[in-house]
Amino acid sequence: MERRLPAADEAGGRRTKRGKVELRRIEDRTSRQVRFSKRRSGMFKKAYELSVLCDAEIALVVFSPAGRLYEFASSTSSIDKIFGRYWDLMHTTIDLNIEARDYRVDCNIQLRQKEHSVLDDPVPKINHITQCVLESNVNELNIAELRGLEEAMTNALTVVKNKLMMKVAGVLPQSEKKSCWISEPDQE
Amino acid sequence: MERRLPAADEAGGRRTKRGKVELRRIEDRTSRQVRFSKRRSGMFKKAYELSVLCDAEIALVVFSPAGRLYEFASSTSSIDKIFGRYWDLMHTTIDLNIEARDYRVDCNIQLRQKEHSVLDDPVPKINHITQCVLESNVNELNIAELRGLEEAMTNALTVVKNKLMMKVAGVLPQSEKKSCWISEPDQE
DNA sequence: GGCTATCAATAACT
DNA sequence: AGTTATTGATAGCC
């Protein structure tokens, strides 16, 4: 495994130069597949190392040009969970008594979501889905799909109404206001 | 920038050894932040290179331990879109006339989703959300949130019902069955 | 944020 | 899939 000096005959320039590559799509299918495989491994390793060394939460989703899926999530989480955190951060209006900053602050970090899945706080997602539905995508569904959707939504709505009634009636406890936790002003 | 041989005095072992690191959480906060910043850059570069060289679709979401968000998506897509593809692949029952394989096949690759967002095919997501609602998470919402949720879902449901009626009545065209496209059996 | 020694990834070859 | 020359990433410093 030790280094050798460059072979003397390399000066002749006959061998293709190793190493450096242009940053553009590799046209040759075989080369592209090989490179994809190797670089994919490398990147997943990097992701793993970063997550361990720096205690970062990482979700990595890769689709090969052939459509195959490769995924990574830092050990303490899942793709769904991390993407859910991302989703919340991007789609939830944050109403804090704290001045806005020039970077995004994740207010969900301390929300103790251990047992929760990506869709645990359904409000922003439902709102978004509602918007999608209100727009045009349902046009793409066939009758069977629409029936399924109708049924699912009806059931869900019934549950929501029941919960609401119970809360209003005082049967269920009011949920306390979510608290927000701002991390130390680290510079990264 | 040319290489030097190792300094002779290094044999004395006085200098801290460079390079190799143990794969475990860096305890020192400052070191961890610096490493995070540097390695994060490196990984995003890798992701970018892989996406360009190999024409891969990549979504990368990173939360620093301080809760700050860093993201990357290959140029042709967005995080939402790629995660949506992931979501569909993981949560949609695939009913094909093709024998099951030992790896996941992405049947959505050719679905012409150019203009669509993550939630464009609401059925599997709505079903999942419905399930969440049917379980227990609405208990966490306060009354105002529940009212909002109820209203949003009611509106969405109305739209769905209308679409369904129109489809059944023949006012809207039946959506054609989605076709599935299996990629060439590349080995990666 | 930049520098350099060193380690790690990987392109070309087998 | 395995090997090695080379490029690339980065740890420790400043």
| Residue scoring higher pLDDT (B36 or B112) | B36
**Residue A176 pLDDT > 90:** no
Amino acid B61: pLDDT: 96
Amino acid B143: pLDDT: 77
Most confident of A13-22, A39-48, A64-73, B62-71: A39-48
Say if B91 is an interface residue toward chain A (CB within 8 Å): no
Report, as an integer, the average pLDDT of B88-117. Answer: 37
| Residues of chain B contacting residue A33, judged by C-beta atoms under 8 Å apart | 186-188
C-alpha gyration radius of chain B:
25
* CATH 3.40.1810.10 corresponds to the domain B29-96: yes
The letter for the amino acid at A131 is: Q
CA–CA separation, B108 vs B118, rounded Å? 12
Instruction: Decide if B105 contacts B182 (C-beta within 8 A).
Output: yes
CA–CA separation, A37 vs A45, rounded Å? 12
Q: What is the pLDDT of residues B130-182, one digit of tens each?
A: 555 555 456 666 777 778 777 777 877 887 787 788 778 776 666 544 333 33
Q: Kind of pairing, strands B57-63 and A69-73?
A: unpaired
Structural domain boundaries of chain A? Answer: 29-96, 121-169
Q: Look-up: residue for tokens 């970077």?
A: A103
CA–CA separation, A18 vs A5, rounded Å? 14
Does the beta-carbon distance from A122 to B132 stay under 8 Å?
yes
Amino acid B54: pLDDT: 95
Amino acid B139: pLDDT: 66
CA–CA separation, B34 vs B10, rounded Å? 25
**Residue B124 pLDDT > 70:** no
Nearest CB among B52, B134, B175 relative to A156 is that of B134
The pLDDT-based confidence of A39 (bands split at 50, 70, 90) is: very high
**Residue B105 pLDDT > 50:** no
Main-chain phi, psi angles of A9, to 5 degrees: -75, -5
A-facing residues of B in 48-87 (CB < 8 A) are: 49-50, 52-69, 71, 79, 82-83, 85-86
C-alpha closest to that of B160 among A181, A136, A179, A71: A136
DSSP string, A52-67: HHH--EEEEEEE-TT-
Q: How far is CA B71 from CA A24, B40, B68, in A?
A: 22, 10, 10
Any bridge partners for residue A98, and if so which? none
Instruction: Decide if A178 contacts A92 (C-beta within 8 A).
Output: no
Contacts of strand C, CB cut-off 7 Å? A 15-21, 31, 35, 38-39, 41-43, 45-46; B 1, 3-7, 10, 17-21, 46
Secondary structure percentages of chain B, helix, strand, coil, to 5: 45, 5, 45
CA–CA separation, B149 vs A121, rounded Å? 11
Main-chain phi, psi angles of A56, to 5 degrees: -100, 155
CA distance B15 to chain A (A): 22
Render the burial of A77-86: b for 16+ CB within 10 Å, e for the rest.
bebbbbbbbb
Q: Look-up: residue for tokens 């999942």?
A: B128
Amino acid B130: pLDDT: 58
Helix (H, G, I), strand (E, B) or coil at B173: coil
C-alpha closest to that of B127 among A160, A156, A82, A144: A156
CA–CA separation, A172 vs A183, rounded Å? 33
C-alpha closest to that of B125 among A142, A84, A163: A84
- The set of residues, in sequence order, having a beta carbon less than 8 Å from that of B51 and lying 6+ positions away, is B57, B58, B74, B75
For residue B23, the Cα-to-chain-centroid distance in whole angstroms is: 26
**Residue B52 pLDDT > 60:** yes
pTM of the shown model: 0.57
Please check whether strand D approaches the CB of B31 to within 7 Å. Answer: yes
Nearest CB among A25, A56, A120 relative to B53 is that of A25
C-alpha closest to that of B68 among A106, A101, A112, A78: A106
Name the average pLDDT for chain A: 67
The pLDDT-based confidence of B57 (bands split at 50, 70, 90) is: very high
**Residue B106 neighbours by CB distance under 10 Å:** 23
Please give the share of chain B, as a percent, with pLDDT higher than 90: 26
The pLDDT-based confidence of A132 (bands split at 50, 70, 90) is: low
Structure tokens, A114: 């251990």
Q: Which nucleotide is at minimal CA–C1' distance from B20?
A: C7
| Residues of chain A contacting residue B50, judged by C-beta atoms under 8 Å apart | 36, 39-40, 43, 62
Which protein residue has its CA closest to C1' of C4?
B1
**Residue A14 pLDDT > 70:** no
Does the beta-carbon distance from A183 to B141 stay under 8 Å?
no
DSSP, res B63: E
Q: What is the pLDDT of residues A133-166, one digit of tens each?
A: 555 456 666 777 778 777 777 877 887 787 778 7
Please check whether strand D approaches the CB of B37 to within 7 Å. Answer: no
Amino acid B41: pLDDT: 95
Please give the share of chain B, as a percent, with pLDDT higher than 70: 52
